């Protein structure tokens, strides 16, 4: 498949169209295989469920931001200059090990409570209804533009109090940063603009706290310990990116696969109680975070049948693990009634997705309301649809459908 450097597979064009068969090939071979990432960095890709799950919970696989650039540099075997990100954006808890991670997670969890998430339900329904009203009037829409993208983005921007007219800029910056395949200058510039904007937002919230989630974050207090302005900027960045780049793909990937499988769709329409299970199965089947799970080894680590040397870059493929037949029988079949629990779409271990309850709620409301109100059909051939480029995220660039009120 595709291009090779030093005899290793490079993740390129054909990978974006179909990562699953690539993962399957690697999975047959070994628990983890060496590949070359698009920017020319050598990395180990973990594609089996058991090993993926154990790597995610193993402290010998570090995520700490401080050493990351050095380890990446050591493993570079080609490509252009590596971009340097604004430090204030990388120092968030997803890029930290304990004890720093433990401290930040504890503070953020105080603001991100189950109650606060549940309180968002009526607002999420309201936003969904409005978007569906508008989409229904048009009839033919790109469902990514009409629903999957604006819903989670509106929710996270409201949580962080980002004004409506500034959201478009965020979309651009966030896309550039997450796609990660732009020119280094472009990435650096987007990072600097994002950091500058967030610094102002944090300053404003500290001076004018309200009743919103971001204010709760600013005020979160653990026996006198608080998030300082730098930590708040990084946290806001993490939440905005998570809010922009993930749930959109849960919704669009879910609708797409249900439309491609009329039998599963009919089952779901006939029994609404299957909705939560269907969302879990979609998360397993087409995981929105394909493999944005970088780590590096701080010692030699035996993983299944391989030994990964110290200072290696390790990427745990969540979609690889989720399509492992040893854990999920007949893994390439969408089955909304299967036991998909235990899938790795939200990660595992100390970095398990903090936003999982919110993402599930958004996914259920969006997909549930859409199916309740409309009959819908794909208006493009599946082969014509383009998937986003970039290895981290798995999602459709657009999803053209026609909607007919039921």
Q: How far is the CB of 14 from ligand HEM (least distance, A)?
A: 24
Write the interaction track for ligand HEM spanning residues 41-80; mark x where CB under 6 A is met and - where it is not: ---------------x------------------------
CB under 8 A, 24+ apart: contacts of 375-378: 375/403, 375/404, 375/406, 376/255, 376/259, 376/401, 376/402, 376/403, 376/404, 377/259, 377/401, 377/402, 378/256, 378/259, 378/260
* Residue 289 found at the interface with ligand HEM (CB under 6 A): yes
* Residue 275 found at the interface with ligand HEM (CB under 6 A): no
* Residue 368 found at the interface with ligand HEM (CB under 6 A): no
Write the interaction track for ligand HEM spanning residues 95-114; mark x where CB under 6 A is met and - where it is not: ----------x---------
Taking the C-alpha atoms of residue 128 and residue 361, their distance in angstroms, rounded to an integer, is 12
Q: Which residues neighbour 399 within 8 Å (Cβ) at sequence distance 6 or greater? A: 142, 143, 144, 148, 252, 255, 256, 378, 385
Taking the C-alpha atoms of residue 45 and residue 291, their distance in angstroms, rounded to an integer, is 9
* Residue 150 found at the interface with ligand HEM (CB under 6 A): no
* Residue 354 found at the interface with ligand HEM (CB under 6 A): yes
- Choose the binding region for ligand HEM from 44-52, 307-315, 330-338, 343-351 (rule: CB under 6 A): 343-351
Residue from 401, 81, 354 nearest 243 by CA: 354
* Residue 144 found at the interface with ligand HEM (CB under 6 A): no
* Residue 238 found at the interface with ligand HEM (CB under 6 A): yes
The count of chain residues that interact with ligand HEM, using the rule CB under 6 A, is 25
**C-beta of 30 vs 356, nearer to ligand HEM:** 356
* Residue 284 found at the interface with ligand HEM (CB under 6 A): no
Residue from 213, 224, 364, 353 nearest 281 by CA: 364
- Choose the binding region for ligand HEM from 24-32, 165-173, 351-359, 382-390 (rule: CB under 6 A): 351-359
What is the 3-state secondary structure of 337-370?
CCCCCCCCCCCCHHHCCCCHHHHHHHHHHHHHHH
**C-beta of 191 vs 243, nearer to ligand HEM:** 243
Q: Which residues of 203-237 are buried (b: 16+ CB within 10 A; e: fewer)?
A: eebeeeeeebbbbbbbebeeeeeebeeebbbbbbb
Given candidates 27, 42, 244, 351, which one binds ligand HEM under the rule CB under 6 A? Answer: 351
* Residue 214 found at the interface with ligand HEM (CB under 6 A): no
Given candidates 239, 365, 366, 376, which one binds ligand HEM under the rule CB under 6 A? Answer: 239
**C-beta of 156 vs 371, nearer to ligand HEM:** 156
Given candidates 26, 37, 52, 93, which one binds ligand HEM under the rule CB under 6 A? Answer: 93
Distances (CA, A) of 77 to 1, 43, 50, 205, 316: 19, 11, 29, 44, 20
Q: Determine how β-strand 313-316 pairs with β-strand 294-297.
A: antiparallel
Q: How far is the CB of 85 from ligand HEM (least distance, A)?
A: 16
* Residue 365 found at the interface with ligand HEM (CB under 6 A): no
Q: How far is the CB of 362 from ligand HEM (least distance, A)?
A: 7
* Residue 243 found at the interface with ligand HEM (CB under 6 A): yes
- In the bound state, the residue with its beta carbon closest to ligand HEM is 355
Q: Which residues of 353-372 are buried (b: 16+ CB within 10 A; e: fewer)?
A: bbbebbbbbbbbbbbbbbbe
> What's the burial of 21, exposed, middle or buried (CB within 10 Å: 0-12/13-18/19+)?
middle
* Residue 395 found at the interface with ligand HEM (CB under 6 A): no
* Residue 191 found at the interface with ligand HEM (CB under 6 A): no
**C-beta of 15 vs 214, nearer to ligand HEM:** 214
Q: Which residues neighbour 119 within 8 Å (Cβ) at sequence distance 6 or greater? A: none
* Residue 290 found at the interface with ligand HEM (CB under 6 A): no
Residue 308 contacts residue 301 (beta carbons within 8 Å): yes
* Residue 254 found at the interface with ligand HEM (CB under 6 A): no
Q: Which residues bind ligand HEM (CB under 6 A)?
A: 56, 93-94, 105, 156, 238-239, 242-243, 246-247, 250, 288-289, 293, 318, 345-347, 351, 353-355, 358-359
């Amino acid at each position: 498949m595709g291009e090779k450097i030093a005899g290793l597979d490079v993740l390129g064009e054909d990978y974006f169209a179909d990562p699953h068969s690539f993962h399957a090939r690697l999975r047959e071979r070994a628990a983890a295989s060496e590949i070359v990432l698009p920017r020319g960095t050598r990395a180990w890709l973990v594609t089996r469920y058991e090993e993926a799950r154990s790597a995610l919970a193993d402290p010998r696989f570090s995520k700490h931001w401080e050493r990351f650039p050095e380890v990446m540099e050591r493993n570079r075997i080609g490509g252009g200059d590596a971009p340097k990100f604004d430090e204030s954006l990388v120092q968030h808890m997803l890029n930290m090990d304990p004890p720093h991670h433990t401290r930040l997670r504890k503070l953020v969890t105080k603001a991100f409570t189950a109650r606060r998430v549940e309180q968002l339900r009526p607002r999420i329904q309201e936003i969904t209804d409005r978007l569906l009203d508008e989409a229904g009037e048009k009839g033919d829409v790109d469902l990514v533009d009409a629903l999957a993208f604006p819903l989670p983005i509106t929710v996270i921007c409201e949580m962080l109090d980002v004004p409506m007219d500034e959201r478009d800029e965020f979309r651009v910056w966030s896309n550039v940063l997450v796609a990660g395949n732009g020119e280094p200058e472009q990435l650096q510039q987007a990072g600097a603009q994002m950091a500058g904007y967030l610094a102002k937002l944090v300053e404003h919230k500290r001076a004018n706290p309200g009743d919103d989630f971001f204010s709760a974050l600013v005020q979160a207090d653990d026996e006198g310990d608080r998030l300082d302005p730098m930590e708040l900027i990084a946290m806001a960045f993490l939440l905005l990116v998570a809010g922009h780049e993930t749930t959109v793909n849960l919704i669009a990937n879910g609708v797409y696969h249900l439309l491609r499988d009329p039998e599963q769709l009919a089952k779901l329409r006939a029994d609404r109680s299957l909705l939560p299970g269907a969302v879990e199965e979609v998360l397993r089947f087409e995981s929105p975070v394909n493999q944005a799970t970088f780590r590096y080894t701080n010692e030699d680590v035996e993983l299944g049948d391989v030994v990964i040397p110290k200072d290696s870059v390790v990427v745990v493929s969540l979609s690889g693990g989720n399509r492992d037949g040893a854990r999920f029988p007949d893994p390439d079949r969408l089955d909304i009634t299967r036991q998909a629990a235990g899938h790795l779409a939200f990660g595992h271990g100390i970095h398990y997705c903090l936003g999982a309850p919110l993402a599930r709620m958004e996914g259920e409301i969006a997909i549930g309301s859409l199916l309740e109100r409309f009959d819908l059909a794909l208006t493009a051939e599946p082969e014509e649809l383009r998937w986003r480029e970039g290895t981290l995220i798995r999602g459709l660039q657009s999803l053209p459908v026609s909607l007919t009120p039921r």
